[in-house]
Amino acid sequence: MQVRTPAIICAMRAHGEHGAIVRALTPDHGLLAGYVRGGRSRRLRPVLVAGNLVEAEFRARTAEQLPGLTVELSHSRAGLLAEPLAAAAIDWLSSLTAASLAEGQPHARLYEALDAVLAAIEYAPSARGWAAAAVRYELMLMADLGYALDLSACAATGARDDLAYVSPKSGGAVSRAAGEPYAARLLPLPAFLVDPSADSDWSDIVDGMRLTGHFLARDILVDQRADALDARQRLVDRIGRLA
């Protein structure tokens, strides 16, 4: 195996005395893991930060062997770690990606979407400029893993207008008229998840995260992967304070 590719750093854990095992999302090969010699050195620690864009080279003699990985920094987002909300968002999105995706499975649109959300976190004038995109990324990831929500029409009536809720069981949208008698048992559906041009305020963002969080915790981040939800809760808490 020899792969040279752009990659987004998603996770790093110590291995041995000085090394690190890094998981990174690539455009053509999906999530890949590799061993970085000296990964905890003063030189490489700032490179192996979640959210950083790198040029990565994976090398292994056999398919069963953990590849060796060398990286060159292409673009650093380490400076955002000094901003609590941005740091929480990057931590969550990278943790979600690393915990959810199987290694070696292509997810080209997820790579593009994650790179776009991280760029928005970096350059948007306020958090409202990227928070909705982060929720859409969660929905996209769920869809890529086979857990898409059907937000196109009311599951009860087939109506396509005034969709206001989502069934927590089926993941199907429900219109306002059909759902109002059962509103306490349904999840609110913010307009920005149905109409990309719709504005979103902080209460809409909170509703969106409540919606995606329900299905992520139920269907994807289960068993050992549930630890990733701690990073999500930190982001939800910070957004909740803004709301």
Average confidence (pLDDT) over 20-44 = 96
What are the residues facing 187 on neighbouring strands? Answer: 166
For residues 13 and 20, the answer to whether their CB atoms sit within 8 Å is yes
State percent of the chain over pLDDT 90.
90
CB atoms within 10 A of CB 188: 16
* SS3 (DSSP) at 67: coil
pLDDT category at 115 given cuts 50, 70, 90 is: very high
Instruction: Using the predicted structure, report yes or no on whether residue 242 has a pLDDT greater than 90.
Output: no
Instruction: Using the predicted structure, report yes or no on whether residue 243 has a pLDDT greater than 80.
Output: no
Instruction: Using the predicted structure, report yes or no on whether residue 118 has a pLDDT greater than 90.
Output: yes
For residues 207 and 201, the answer to whether their CB atoms sit within 8 Å is no
Q: Which residues contact 91 (CB under 8 A, 6 or more apart)?
A: 50, 231, 234, 235
Q: What is the mean pLDDT of the chain?
A: 95
Average confidence (pLDDT) over 13-29 = 94
Instruction: Using the predicted structure, report yes or no on whether residue 54 has a pLDDT greater than 90.
Output: yes
How much is the pLDDT for 172?
Answer: 98
d(CA 44, CA 62): 26
Q: Render pLDDT for 195-239 as a digit per residue (tens, 0 to 9).
A: 988 888 999 999 999 999 999 999 999 998 999 999 999 999 999
For residues 212 and 138, the answer to whether their CB atoms sit within 8 Å is yes
Instruction: Using the predicted structure, report yes or no on whether residue 105 has a pLDDT greater than 90.
Output: yes
How much is the pLDDT for 108?
Answer: 93
pLDDT category at 107 given cuts 50, 70, 90 is: very high
Instruction: Using the predicted structure, report yes or no on whether residue 100 has a pLDDT greater than 90.
Output: yes
What are the residues facing 2 on neighbouring strands? Answer: 59
Q: Which residues contact 120 (CB under 8 A, 6 or more apart)?
A: 129, 130, 133
Instruction: Using the predicted structure, report yes or no on whether residue 64 has a pLDDT greater than 90.
Output: no
How much is the pLDDT for 33?
Answer: 97
pLDDT category at 23 given cuts 50, 70, 90 is: very high
pLDDT category at 16 given cuts 50, 70, 90 is: confident
